[in-house]
Amino acid sequence: MQGKFTKDKNIYRKSFLIVFGILLAIALIGSLITARNLPKGLSQIAKKHNLKIGTAVSSWQLDDPQFASVLIRNFNLITPENEMKFELLSPAPGEYDFSGADKIIAFAKKHGISVRGHTLVWTNQLPKWLVNGNFSRDELIIILHNHIDTVVSHYRGQVSYWDVVNESLAPDGSISQDNFWMQHIGPEYIELAFRWAHEADPNALLFYNEANAEGKGLKADGLFMLANMLITQGIPLHGIGFEMHTGLGWSPKPDELAINIQRLADLGLEIHITEMDVRIIEPASLEDLYEQAKIYAEIVQTCLDATNCTAYSTWGLTDTLSWIPHIYPGTGSPLLFYGDYTPKPAYYAIQKVLEIK
């Protein structure tokens, strides 16, 4: 009786294992077939052009599995939207809280995604202790040096590109006077920042990032002159970031963008499109969305046509996560995905450009 019971138990266990094995194999084959049939994400398609496709993220967004899966499928470059800025990193003099930015770096590492560090020197989002500290020029030079050294060293080998200096130019192309660092240190804050960043991580590529200087105009000329001056002086500047915040009816003309990219290429500089979005007056019609798609496609095409344009990033993943409606009420719908992560016409327009060439 005992023997029969043990035998039955063994047969039962064996059958269970066989059925389990078959089910597991079916599931594996199924998932392989599904993965094969999924259309390629943007970054996969762009690989043949040696173009990285990026977006801005906040650490809390990575907790959403849908956000994470759309991100991993389509992007191989991420920029922390805020969490590497001075205000968010340093709550008190000499104190650093890297938790948010570290989470983004860990995610990037896990999924083979490169990181653009943003940003070491900017006049916005500075800590209150710094702005209200009544520090002398010499003290501020030490504070800025320590900040750059601390942050770049913390991420040495993990951040491929740094936006070292952000938005230092006035609309007329001169170095902006309306800038904390300019007012307290003077224009040399720019070259000092690049030198210090390079000392802290000699392998990181160092970018100067600017808004509204992509096409033709005084600011674009000022940017070119600044880049030329830094290069001539032997400052370690490796690339220019064109933010590319645009809107329907006011985006840079592709031929003017191409000329601007070319003259910077002649200086030996790489170009990254760093923060693209195309805002629309709400409610956005289908016609507006197609017009938006055309602008996105034109900029990607111009970037592809230039050999030195190596990265193309949007400033956020979905329309609902964008900064635009908060700062420009009444406008919105600026990105490649609707709030529910469905791709918009702009997504397909970029996909088409990347596939054709």
Closest CA to 240 of 172, 303, 305: 303
Q: Which of residues 17-36 bind ligand G3I (CB under 6 A)?
A: none
Q: Which of residues 39-78 bind ligand G3I (CB under 6 A)?
A: none
Asked if 324 and 334 count as a contact pair (C-beta separation under 8 A), the reply is: yes
The answer to whether 243 contacts ligand G3I (rule: CB under 6 A) is: yes
**Residue 315 to residue 215: CA distance in whole angstroms:** 19
Task: Spot the catalytic one: 81, 167, 210, 270.
Answer: 167
287 is catalytic: no
The answer to whether 81 contacts ligand G3I (rule: CB under 6 A) is: yes
**Residue 278 to residue 53: CA distance in whole angstroms:** 17
Q: Which of residues 262-281 bind ligand G3I (CB under 6 A)?
A: 275
The answer to whether 246 contacts ligand G3I (rule: CB under 6 A) is: no
Candidates 43, 82, 114, 308: give the one binding ligand G3I (CB under 6 A).
82
Closer CB to ligand G3I, residue 301 or residue 318? 318
**Residue 175 to residue 51: CA distance in whole angstroms:** 31
Residue with nearest beta carbon to ligand G3I:
323
Q: Which of residues 119-138 bind ligand G3I (CB under 6 A)?
A: 124-125
Rounded to the nearest whole angstrom, what is the least distance from the CB of residue 275 to ligand G3I in the complex?
5
Closer CB to ligand G3I, residue 30 or residue 91? 91
- E strand spans, the chain: 52-57, 77-80, 114-121, 161-166, 205-210, 239-242, 245-247, 270-281, 309-314, 331-332
Rounded to the nearest whole angstrom, what is the least distance from the CB of residue 335 to ligand G3I in the complex?
12
- Binding pattern to ligand G3I, positions 307-336, x when CB under 6 A? ----------------x-------------
Classify strands 161-166 and 270-281 as parallel, antiparallel or unpaired: unpaired
How far is CA 272 from its chain centroid? 9
**Residue 112 to residue 106: CA distance in whole angstroms:** 10
Asked if 61 and 103 count as a contact pair (C-beta separation under 8 A), the reply is: no
Rounded to the nearest whole angstrom, what is the least distance from the CB of residue 207 to ligand G3I in the complex?
12
Closer CB to ligand G3I, residue 45 or residue 336? 336
**Residue 33 to residue 150: CA distance in whole angstroms:** 47
Rounded to the nearest whole angstrom, what is the least distance from the CB of residue 290 to ligand G3I in the complex?
25
Query: CB count, 10 Å around CB of 226?
Result: 24
The answer to whether 99 contacts ligand G3I (rule: CB under 6 A) is: no
**Residue 160 to residue 136: CA distance in whole angstroms:** 33
Residues found near ligand G3I in the complex (CB under 6 A)? 81-82, 124-125, 166, 211, 243, 275, 323
Catalytic machinery residues: 167, 275
